[in-house]
Amino acid sequence: MVMRFLKRLALVVLWGLLTGWGSWTQTGQTSPFDGTWKVDLKSEKYISEPVEILLINGEYSCRSCTPPYTIKADGKDHEVSVSPYFDTENITIVDGRTLSRIDKKGGEQVGTIKTWVSEDGKTLHREYTRVNAPGQPAYSGSYTATRISDGPKGSHAVSGTWQENPTESMSENAQSFRFRVEGDMLTMTSPLGDSFTAKMDGTEAPVKGDRGADRVSVKQIDPSTLEQTYKLDGKVVSITKMTVSGDGKTMKSFVELKVRPVKVESTFIKQ
């Protein structure tokens, strides 16, 4: 989260000292955020605008992407500018219901996606693999989307408008992260290799091991709530609000993506 005006920051720090959450180390208490947290995939609620795809005459278009783009589906690398994680897409038409895609960054393969449509044409399935940064471990997952409208006559089965559904599956290394609080500093680490250490007053700090963000700021709203803001090249890419339950066993997470209008609500369980 971006740092607020100095006057407001001073009031936040003062209130924290008076209520006892200004520094966990000084008070000898254990922070409710400390520990390893694993997502409960069944708890996920996913809200987004529909995805619009068109594949016709050998050309693939993502009309709902930011920015929208069209490339040839010819099994060759083509430049795209829709994500910091990859800069080319390679799309191959496998059959009338199936596509395969290879993503690269600087010529290095960083991801794959297999997309296929059910026989009744109502459901789109996607299985993916991804690497967030050089030298980091790969992770994988799957999800579906429900058809809202058909594509034009003569287009491939993936064409049309789709409403994405919550995550179906995710590899174990992508399901958890660890928080450690020391004084007024929060450290986050994950099995995927990304990490940061930030002061919990809204001051920005560097993010390591993630192409999708280079800065983060963390602000403690109250004794059980954090707000975390990620940036890339000075622009906000996501805001996450996390609240730990009274018994300290679960944490609610509300994520709002800024690059594309997506909101995700989920519950994490302390391990």
Residue pLDDT, tens place only, 196-214: 999 999 999 999 999 999 9
The boundaries of every CATH 2.40.128.20 domain in the chain are: 6-45+173-270
Question: Furthest-apart CA pair in the chain: how many Å?
Answer: 68
Identify the DSSP state of 208.
Answer: B
Q: pLDDT higher for 19 or 270?
A: 270
Which amino acid does the sequence have at 106? G
Place of tokens 């369980």: 269
Under a CB-based contact definition with an 8 Å cutoff, are residues 73 and 84 in contact?
no
Architecture of domain 47-172: Beta Barrel (2.40)
Report the number of secondary-structure helices (H) and strands (E) in the chain.
Answer: 2, 20
CATH 2.40.128.20 corresponds to the domain 6-45+173-270: yes
Long-range CB contacts (< 8 A, 24+ apart) of 80-87? 83/212, 84/211, 84/212, 84/232, 85/110, 85/111, 85/130, 85/132, 85/211, 85/212, 86/110, 86/111
Winning range, highest mean pLDDT, from 21-30, 226-235, 258-267? 226-235
Residue 15's pLDDT is 32
pTM for this predicted structure: 0.85
